[in-house]
Structure 1
Amino acid sequence: MFVRIVKLSFAEENIATFLANFETVKFKIRNFKGNQLLELYQDKTNPNVFFTYSYWDNESDLENYRNSDLFKGVWAKTKPLFNAKPEAWSVDKLASLK
């Protein structure tokens, strides 16, 4: 399993549109083959900045999602809302304490 972290920055007037679209697709993304977890965070000091954390069984599952019609539709609606280029990292979780 690995974690995909994506930083998204939106123009203030586009935040509500982004959140509404996320509401409509979040369960589809979460239920995509190989996805184990999907979380959305909003930065406390800069409310225009969001982060998604998603856990994937393997890199091919993420690539299948990124090449899917679902992702293409999500991206088509999300991309015009950005005010900065999104950033993404694929990382291995080394420790998790609860």
Structure 2
Amino acid sequence: MFVRIVKMRFQEDKIDTFLEKFNVIKENIRHFEGNQFLELYQDKNDNRIFFTYSYWNTEEDLENYRKSDLFNEVWTFTKALFSDKPEAWSVDKIVSLP
């Protein structure tokens, strides 16, 4: 399992639009084959910045998602709302303390 972190900065007047869409599609992303976990965070100091954290069984599962119609729909919609280029990282979890 590995973690995918995506940082997104939105146009201020598009934040509500993004959140409405995320609420509609979040369950579809979370239940995509190979996805184990999904969270959305908002920066405390800059309300335009959001992060998604998603856990994937394998890199192939993430790639299958990225090639899917669902991702194409989500990304086409979301990228039109950005005010800056998104950043993404794939990382291995080393330690997790409940």
Which TM-score band applies after superposition, normalised by the shorter structure?
Answer: over 0.9
Partner of 2:91: 91
Partner of 1:43: 43
Partner-residue secondary structure (3-state), 2:14: helix
Stretches of structure 1 that go unaligned for 5 or more consecutive residues are none
Counterpart residue identity of residue 90, structure 2: S
Q: 1:79 & 1:44 partners in 2: Cα distance?
A: 22
Partner-residue secondary structure (3-state), 1:47: coil
TM-score normalised to the size of structure 1? 0.99
TM-score normalised to the size of structure 2? 0.99
Equivalenced residue count is 98
Q: How does 1:9-48 map to 2 (within 5 A)?
A: 9-48=9-48
Q: How does 1:58-69 map to 2 (within 5 A)?
A: 58-69=58-69
Counterpart residue identity of residue 49, structure 1: I
Q: 1:30 & 1:8 partners in 2: Cα distance?
A: 18
Q: 1:29 & 1:80 partners in 2: Cα distance?
A: 19
Percent identity, aligned pairs only, is 64
| RMSD between aligned residues | 0.3
Q: 1:87 & 1:68 partners in 2: Cα distance?
A: 20
Counterpart residue identity of residue 40, structure 1: L
* TM superposition outliers: structure 1 runs of 4+ over 6 Å: none
Partner-residue secondary structure (3-state), 1:83: coil
Displacement after TM superposition at 1:76 (Å): 1.0
Partner of 1:54: 54
